[in-house]
Every structure is written in structure tokens, then in C-alpha cells.
Structure 1
Amino acid sequence: MSDLSAPLGDGHTLLPDDDRAGLLQPDIATRQELFAAEQRNIATALLRPQPTLPVLLDDRYLRGLHKAMFGEVLARAGRYRRSETNIGIPPTYITEEVRKVVDDAATWVEHKTYEPDELAVRFHHRLVDIHPFANGNGRHSRISADLLIANLGRAAFSSGHNLGLPTETRRQRYLAALHSADAGEIDDLVSFARS
């Protein structure tokens, strides 16, 4: 098995054999190549028509979105994970919990429970917390939140891109905001979404 910490000559790290097993593009060997392939796949997925609110707030659509985002790269794209991970809920509860999230979001919209930004961020946070897929949960949940906020008549979130920070620093701020939301404080994640 390849060692994730063993850089290649150009500084990129090899993917371990376990990660390469589910790839549909066998020529991908490094994390950078995987990320680039995923980004190309996501760019294509974003060309799909904007779903209506009832379509978006359906677990089948969310699985289909994941497949559209990662289906050219990952064999299990669009399928809920079947194994335990160090984050997320046990896999036996994923389907039920995702259905609860979409039902809750529909109720929040109907009753105007939260302002649109907070509503979409809470939706995003709940999806990340469930961690329904083996890969791509953060990107999937952020795009899902962008689709939701668009349905609520607002601009897509910038998710830290306006901060002018390096990617890794921006990622650390995002994770810190997620941890605050885990503790019940959603304001940092709402602020990050618009930063």
C-alpha cells in the first residue's frame, strides 16, 4: 500500500491502494490528480438545470446530485456509505436521517422558521453532520445549500472565497465554523458562508 505521507518528486502525495480501488479513472495516482478529476466532474454537474424546491428537498435528488458531481470519478458516487467512519452517523441511519433533514428544511421554508441564509446553512450543517457518502460530503452539502439559497431568492454562498486566504487557511476557518455549529452556535458558519 502507498503511504499518504510519501511525496512524489513533485511534492504530490500518492493515493493509497484502498482509495484507488473505487476510482473509475485508473490513471489517477495522486491526491492532486483526484481533486482535479473531481473538480472537472463537479463543473459538469453544475451545468444541470436548477431544481425546484420540492425536487431539491428529496433524498433521491441529493443522491443524484452526488452522482452527478462524482460519478465520472468514484464508483460509489450517489450511494450512501455502508461503513463506519470517524465522522458522521452509523450507516444504518443515513437514509432515515437524510429524509428528516429534507423534511425539516421543507418545514423551515414553509413556516419561515429561519432567515434564508441561516436556513440554508443549517441544511448544509445537518448534511455534513450525517456524512452520508464515503467522499465529497463537504462539497456536496455546500452545493446543496447553494441550490437551496437560490430557491429562496438569494445569491449563492461565497464560502470564504472573498477572504483572500490560501485554500488551507480557508478550509481551517470552515472547519472551525463547523465545530462551532456542532456545539449549537450557527452564527460563525452563517458568516463564513457569506465571507
Structure 2
Amino acid sequence: MSDWRFPQHDGHTPLSEEDRRGLLLSHIATRDDLNDAEQRNIAKALGRRPPTAERLLDDMYLRGLHKSMFGEVWEWADRYRQRVTNIGVAPNQIAADLRMLTDDAKEWVSSEYFEPDELAARFHHRLVTIHPFADGNGRHSRISADYLAQALGRPPFTWGAHLDLATDALRHTYLTALRTADRGDISPLLSFARS
């Protein structure tokens, strides 16, 4: 997707005090305000040169990428989440699981175990499954997968940009593909990533 957000319909909804916890910009009052600020920060982060596969496949680089994407908006950007959520590993497993993912992906790259698109899609899926940060995990993992695809000689994924779907349907298709990947079938996620 061109805007990385999969924005929600509730854009005019005021942010609660809990939603604002850690927010660096005091003028943000609604979900639309937040989406716009995050989008500007992400656009700025995407202006930098894509990394090599070796550089990307490092847990410190991935944390730094999250900070570059969200650090102008959130004070907790690049910090692993501390709360149990309905998705993701337990907070005390995040660092170890992220290192395991980057080690596995380095091996996939060096052995050419998967074709580049599949490798990047699998990396994306595992990164989403770990869910290392309090927010921004989908956007972070999609950009990380794009960077990995590029490092492997492929163009960035399109993430459904060529589908004629409303935002809710696009989000549903993406989440369905992720759930199918949870069950071991990566093909719908790979198809969505290139659609």
C-alpha cells in the first residue's frame, strides 16, 4: 500500500488518555491527526537508502527502523512492548524470538532456501507474529519485508495496492492471509503482497 496505514473509519474519534500515553505531539486530538503524524514520520523514514540483507537482518537495525518510522510521534518508538497482547509472543520472549528470526533469515538468504519473494513474505509473517512493539508492527514488518525483497533483487511488495478493494476489505484480505500463514500456508500472503 502506498500509505502503509490500512487506515480505519474512526478517524474523527477523539483519542483517549490511554491512547495518548507516550505521544510526543500535544496537538494530536483524533485518530486522523495521529494517522497523519505517523504517516509523515514514516514517509521521512522511507527517504533513506534501503539496507542490505545483512544490515536488515539484525535486531538492532529493526529497532532503529521502528524508531525512524515512529520516533517523532511516540516516546516508546523502538522499545519492545512490556504488555501481554492478544497477538504476539510474551514480552520476555521478544528479544530472543527476534534474534532467532534474524538468524533463521540469514540462513535462508545464504542457503537460498526460499525464492526471494517467499523469503521476504515468511520474514514478514514471523515478524508480525512476534509483534515486538506496542504499535506499528504491521507497518514496520511490511516495510522490513519490502527492504528485504529489494536487498534480494526484487521490487518492493505492493501489499494489495492493485486490488480494487475498500480499506476494510483490503485489511480483511491481509489479515486472512496472515491467519492462513499461521496455519502453515504462506501462499495467500505471498499473493497479497504482490497484488
User: Could you state the TM-score of these two structures normalised by the residue count of structure 1?
Assistant: 0.93
Structure 2 distance, partners of 1:145, 1:43, is 16
Quote the offset at 1:53 in angstroms. Answer: 1.5
5+ residue gaps in structure 2?
A: 1-9
Quote the offset at 1:16 in angstroms. Answer: 1.4
Partner of 2:32: 32
Identical aligned pairs, as a percentage? 60
Structure 2 distance, partners of 1:36, 1:87, is 25
Any idea what SS the aligned residue of 2:107 has?
A: helix
5+ residue gaps in structure 1?
A: 1-6
Q: Which runs of 4+ in 1 moved over 4 A?
A: none
Quote the offset at 1:83 in angstroms. Answer: 1.1
1:174 aligned to 2:151?
A: no
Q: Which string of whole-angstrom CA distances, capped at 9 and with x for unpartnered residues, describes residues 135-179 of structure 1?
A: 000000000000000000000000001002112211110000000
Partner of 1:134: 134
Partner of 1:4: none
Quote the offset at 1:32 in angstroms. Answer: 1.1
Partner of 2:145: 145
Structure 1 distance, partners of 2:51, 2:116, is 17
Partner of 1:100: 100
Structure 2 distance, partners of 1:170, 1:110, is 34
Partner of 1:3: none
Listed as ranges, the matches of 1:36-51 within 5 Å are 36-51=36-51
Aligned residues: 186
Structure 2 distance, partners of 1:21, 1:102, is 30
Listed as ranges, the matches of 1:1-195 within 5 Å are 12-195=12-195
Q: Which amino acid aligns with 2:29?
A: A
Q: Which amino acid aligns with 1:100?
A: M
Any idea what SS the aligned residue of 1:161 has?
A: coil
User: Could you state the TM-score of these two structures normalised by the residue count of structure 2?
Assistant: 0.93
